[in-house]
Amino acid sequence: MKKVTFLKAALAFTTVFLMATTQTSDACTRVVYKGPKNTIITARSMDFTIPIPSNLWLFPSGIARDGSTGANTVKWTSKYGSMATSSWDIAVSDGMNEKGLVANMLWLVSSKYPEFQKDGKGKKGLAVSLWAQYALDNFATVAEAVAQLRKEEFVVVTDFIPGTDKFTTVHLSLSDATGDNAILEYINGKLVIHHSPEYTVMTNDPIFEEQLAINAYWKGIPGNIFLPGTNRAADRFVRASYYINAIPQTDDTRVAVAGAFSVIRQCSVPYGISTEGFPNLSTTRWRTVADQKNLVYYYEDALSPNAIWVDLKKLDFSKNGKIKKLALDKNQIYAGETSNQFVESKPFQFQGI
């Protein structure tokens, strides 16, 4: 058994090395902290080679949406309200809904999505820009999301990021207020779902199964003696896995949130860094920390002097609530709890095909 694990790890190391030296992608890290008394906190970093302007959006329940794939598209009405982080105001890449479900989209070069037929002969489509928002709108728990998404009633459809040569290839992580987790990937056109409360860490390439093999290898080496220190996805996965369990496990919210922030900062990429021969190592642009027990969403921009946070309990997620935005895309500076600084706004248009 140990020999098989080692061989898998060796293969995964080779894969991630080859991808790092031959392909251009972007890097992120996601980690879930589990403390006593149902203290669950999900933290993530957004690492990208180019600036990725973001805003915070309040989406109430009762919003009628479609998958932005033309006539052959999935349609739904949001069951839950959510706090979401947009990217270029064409996609939602991160967020938490009013039930404490968190969705994070991270880059995965290995992604290969199913074929989509716009003529209506195949399954309905969902633009990748809406993948995270679909989960936030429709599900309260990971188990509920997994049960529904396994039915594959639609296919995720992707395209190039406007104005770039970057083809959007991502995988999706879900976590909830009970500490349950799921990782969703499209590999060779097939949906692969990894579902377990133990899946508390995710980075980028290689695929999640190989990330687990790499981590299993490193568990045999005490983290307080040696940890891999590069910015590569495999190394960040190992460090995040070690540190999220090494920090104090507490129900003191102030300490727990600080701990989650410290881990995601430790796994971030310094601003402006570039490594010759490794084009997929990208500057950390922003970080979020979602306190799923207390429903507080923290946001930290790399160019801002401080983090801000939003208490979701102070927002109106009812069907009578308004869509609102906290503008962050022009380096606006705020301080502290900012729920009262959101401004009613027209919703942005999700990128479709």
Active site (catalytic) residues: 28
Sheet arrangement for strand 284-291: 201-202, 28-35, 39-47, 284-291, 296-301, 308-311, 336-337
Q: Compute the radius of gyration of the chain from its Cα atoms.
A: 19
Query: Measured between alpha carbons, how far is residue 251 from residues 35, 239, 291 in Å?
Result: 6, 23, 11
Give the C-alpha separation, 227 to 82, whole Å.
Answer: 37
69 near 304, Cβ under 8 Å?
Answer: no
Give the C-alpha separation, 127 to 68, whole Å.
Answer: 6
DSSP run (H or E) holding 10? helix 2-22
Nearest to 157 by CA among 350, 310, 341: 350
Query: How buried is residue 188: exposed, middle or buried, by Cβ count under 10 Å (0-12/13-18/19+)?
Result: exposed
In sequence order, what are the beta bridge partners of 31? 43, 201
Helical segments of 95-252, H only: 131-138, 142-149, 208-218, 233-246
